[in-house]
Structure 1
Amino acid sequence: MARGSLVPETAAHAATTVARATGHRAQVDVTSDGAALAALGRTPLLLRVTAFSMFVFPSSMVIKDIGAAGTVPMILSCLLFVFWLASWIWRLHDPVRVRHPGRMAGVFFVLGIIVSYTALYGGWTGDATVTGLAAADRWLILAFASLGLILVAAESVKTMADAMQLLRWLLAGAFFCGVVGLIQFTLRVNPMEWVQLAMPGFTYNGGDTPFQARGNLVRVAGSTFHSIEFGVVSAMLLPLSIWRALYDQRGQRWFHWLQTALLVFAVAATVSRSGTLASVVAIAVLLPFLPRIARQRTIAALPFVIIALFVAVPGFVGTITDALGADTSDPSIATRVNNYPRVARMIDAKPWFGVGPGNYTVQNAQEILDNQYLNTIVSMGIVGLICVFIYLVLPGVAALHSARHAAFPALRCLAGASAAGLAVAAVCSVTFDSLSFPTFALSYPLLVGLSGAIWIMVKNEGSSPAPATTTPQTTRMD
């Protein structure tokens, strides 16, 4: 598919398209779960393709003249922001009326990066190098791309049918990523090399690690940059995949559950402590908001899932048990602990604005900060840490609030699934520098935007009459 076909012919037409998609409808369609989910979704094609592209087009392939920010999903995300801004400037839609915590979190993220970016360019944080300035530019682009995803997703997903449509595309991309991971794990072949060959005009920029040894197993990364990113992002999407499997009235149920099972396998194939923690957090947050029968069956199925993983991934249980039980003699843990004194010295040297966004550099693998919060306070200072903390924590808390107050089962479960995915991001940012990984850095704001849309739906559902029909989950789960 030609990239040009994804972009409207003129900016005015593009702005009009987004305005139609993001314009307010008279009433949120939550009259009944069945009616809401049976309707046709109306999310913008560009948003859906962007969600799909995050997992299909490798982030190691860039347009050379743009640099590391010139990946397909990054370019599409920036286009979303440009079209959203143009439609606002030309008064084709009014975003002021659309209020949700996700937008606040995205604005804080942008402000935190802008403050540190300005300090770097102004010389307040010391002499800047050409490489350092280029890294700061990439982070500024990431900030506006993330904000574009949040704004467009929150304002275009107006019904559960819209949410379902967007998730079909997002989970289709994740399914592709899972299939790549399965091939990598079983055949020790990297299909992403074939995808790279099919991208004329793009240059390989490096940075990806498709294979990595751990114990007797080989960790794989699917179409993401690293196995840890693969495991965490798969766990983030697992609750949403479960919601889709429960409520999607299109397609084959067995295939929906196959996609969900592949996400579970993806977490296992990474043999990652972060991935294991992420899956535990995801299920723990989601369970209270599942329909009763689905919750009971999920709890009953967990032991069989572990047994299936033991059979499908020989040595998995022993390897992950050894990893989880490791102490400071483990090189990975020792590196994290040994970095704390050095980080403290760097904070003392530049406490408020840090060394600049993206400007923390390492001389060797032992200096990598596998903690996004530590990485942030070093690179963006205390001001940046506060902003990033709000960005990573507030949307999950807001989604939990939505789940607790949603009246209708499908919407309550969707809010709970969104909260679970966002909670994974907030918790696992302690165990790896999450925003440095391109698939996580773009899929997370998409979930933030979705949670904003859910917030608005829950807020507006009080004006709708109570459902008079049987919900799809009751029919499908009994």
Structure 2
Amino acid sequence: MDSETTIREPRAADGGLDLSPVSRGRTPLLLRFTLFAIFFFPATMVIEPLGASGTVPTLLCLVLLLAWLASWLWGLHDPIPVRHPGRLAISLLLLASIASYAALYAGWTGGSTEMTRASADRWLLLLAASAALVLVTAEVIRTMADALQLVRALLAGAFFCCLVGVAQFVFRVNPMEWIQAAMPGFTYNGGDTPFQIRGSLMRVAGSTFHSIELGVVAAMLIPLSIWRSLTDPRGRRWFHWAQTALLVFAVTTTVSRSGILGLVVALLVFVPFLPRLVRRGLLLSAPFVVAGVFLIVPGFVGTIASALGADTSDPSIATRVNNYPRVVQLLDSHPILGSGPGNYTPPDALRILDNQYLGSLVTLGIVGLLATLAYFLLPGIAGVLAARAAVHPALRGLAGAVAAGALVAAVCSMTFDSLSFPVFALLYPALVGLAGGVWRMVRREADLRDDENAATARGAMMARAPAPTAKEVG
């Protein structure tokens, strides 16, 4: 039978929640292409007048936002009733950023220059693109088939990214240069680090900007890839698991502490929401996966052990520790709204704030830090609550996978300035939007279950009621 044939599972009521993975999904093609483009098109290639905001994925997200606004204005959809924690999270960050932006342009921060205003403009464009992904994704995810369509697009992009990483790691070539050469009208903007030596290994970045970004992004998507391998009726099961293995390999080839941390967080959050037999299978296969990594990547054990065991004598650790006194000094000048969105330019590589929360504190102030915490924590916590409330195994697993990916982003944002990296900065709001769609699906499942229980209770009461006598009938 064709996997696209619409097959409906028994539902609680007509028009209820469709949790069949083989139903026909209705996720818009533009959204799916945008999610794939996050990984495919180099973020180094920009339309020069737009600067760093002129990348293909960012422009596609802005087109999505315009389409969403036009649809709302023309009455084709009503976004007001579509409530979920992710929408609150991005709204808080937008409000804090706009307040800081206004303070910068008003001259209250004392650092209003042409360069700082351009940085603030780029930050707001990034938030607009992020808001588009959060809003559109949450609204279009109504069924399990919709979610699967979206996850397939995300993982197809990640698969491409991992293949690029394999080519970089094995052959020491960067296929992204070939794509850059095939993009007329775009200008190379720089900023990427496709190769970097750590110990005896060559760290690679795939189609992302940096090996740290690749490690964290791969860790964020591993739970979704496992869920897809267990749930998706389309394609070959072995190929789905091969894609999952490639994501694990990507974390390995980055030799990144952030990637290893993200992988641990992802599995700790996600595994408890899997069926018991699947949990056992994953636990039994874990030693073989680790052994395979050690065999495929010679020198990995020593290099990662050295990285994990590093102290403040390690330049990377020392730089992060030395950030705190400097952040306190910077915060003293403008503690409430910061120095302005994007208004921190390190004089050298040693003064980069490798911590998104510290970066938000400096540029957006205490208000912005609280909004950033909400942006990173609310979707993940809501995903965990949704997974605990879900009854259908596939829906519970999806909620757990999205929660795991979001919490990986929240934890790893303490180890690098995550929103400065273009792939992460757009992948995360896509997960937030997916979390919003899953939240709504779990709410509908609970409502349908309550309706069904109420109907059962009414039926039981009617069955227990005594039959009317002939006198009462008369």
Of 8, 25, 29, which aligns to 2:17?
29
One-letter amino acid of the structure 1 residue matched with residue 78 of structure 2: D
Residue 72, structure 1, aligned to residue 56, structure 2: yes
Residue 150, structure 1, aligned to residue 138, structure 2: no
Q: In structure 1, what is the Cα distance between the partners aligned to 2:36 and 2:151? A: 9
> Counterpart in 2 of 1:442?
426
Deviation at residue 29 of structure 1 after TM alignment: 2.9
Of 199, 205, 209, which aligns to 1:221?
205
Q: In structure 2, what is the Cα distance between the partners aligned to 1:39 and 1:127? A: 55
Q: 1:359 to 1:127 in 2, by over 3 A?
A: closer
One-letter amino acid of the structure 2 residue matched with residue 289 of structure 1: F
> Counterpart in 2 of 1:103?
87
Counterparts of residues 7-406 of structure 1 (less than 5 Å): 27-30=15-18, 33=19, 36-406=20-390
Q: SS of the residue aligned with 1:317?
A: helix
On the 8 A contact 2:85/2:379 being kept in 1, the answer is: yes
On the 8 A contact 2:111/2:339 being kept in 1, the answer is: no
After superposition, give the CA deviation of every residue in 1:239-277 in whole Å (9 maximum; x if it has no partner): 000000000000001110010000000000000000000
Deviation at residue 463 of structure 1 after TM alignment: 4.3
On the 8 A contact 1:277/1:428 being kept in 2, the answer is: yes
User: What do you get for the CA RMSD once the two structures are aligned?
Assistant: 1.3
Q: 1:262 to 1:180 in 2, by over 3 A?
A: same
Residue 453, structure 1, aligned to residue 437, structure 2: yes
One-letter amino acid of the structure 2 residue matched with residue 131 of structure 1: M
Q: In structure 1, what is the Cα distance between the partners aligned to 2:63 and 2:156? A: 22
On the 8 A contact 1:28/1:159 being kept in 2, the answer is: no
One-letter amino acid of the structure 2 residue matched with residue 296 of structure 1: R
After superposition, give the CA deviation of every residue in 1:156-205 in whole Å (9 maximum; x if it has no partner): 01111000001111100000000000000011100000010111111100
On the 8 A contact 1:101/1:452 being kept in 2, the answer is: yes
The share of aligned pairs that are identical, in percent, is 63
Q: SS of the residue aligned with 1:402?
A: helix
Q: SS of the residue aligned with 2:354?
A: coil
Q: In structure 2, what is the Cα distance between the partners aligned to 1:307 and 1:127? A: 53
Q: In structure 2, what is the Cα distance between the partners aligned to 1:415 and 1:252? A: 23
One-letter amino acid of the structure 2 residue matched with residue 437 of structure 1: F
Q: In structure 2, what is the Cα distance between the partners aligned to 1:289 and 1:80? A: 33
On the 8 A contact 1:180/1:223 being kept in 2, the answer is: yes
Q: In structure 1, what is the Cα distance between the partners aligned to 2:116 and 2:282? A: 48
Unaligned runs of 5+ residues in structure 2 are 1-12, 451-474
TM-score computed with the length of structure 1 as normaliser: 0.90
Q: In structure 1, what is the Cα distance between the partners aligned to 2:350 and 2:171? A: 31
Deviation at residue 411 of structure 1 after TM alignment: 0.1
One-letter amino acid of the structure 2 residue matched with residue 341 of structure 1: P
After superposition, give the CA deviation of every residue in 1:342-370 in whole Å (9 maximum; x if it has no partner): 11110111101111111111111110111
Deviation at residue 26 of structure 1 after TM alignment: 7.9
Moved more, 248-257 or 78-87: 78-87
Q: Which has the larger Rg?
A: 2
Aligned length: 438
Q: In structure 2, what is the Cα distance between the partners aligned to 1:392 and 1:224? A: 21
Q: 1:26 to 1:390 in 2, by over 3 A?
A: farther
Deviation at residue 465 of structure 1 after TM alignment: 6.6
TM-score computed with the length of structure 2 as normaliser: 0.91
Unaligned runs of 5+ residues in structure 1 are 1-24, 467-478
Q: In structure 2, what is the Cα distance between the partners aligned to 1:313 and 1:58? A: 27
Deviation at residue 443 of structure 1 after TM alignment: 0.4
Runs of 4+ in structure 1 deviating by more than 6 angstroms, as ranges, are none
One-letter amino acid of the structure 2 residue matched with residue 127 of structure 1: G
Q: In structure 2, what is the Cα distance between the partners aligned to 1:228 and 1:26? A: 48
On the 8 A contact 2:36/2:154 being kept in 1, the answer is: yes
One-letter amino acid of the structure 1 residue matched with residue 363 of structure 2: S
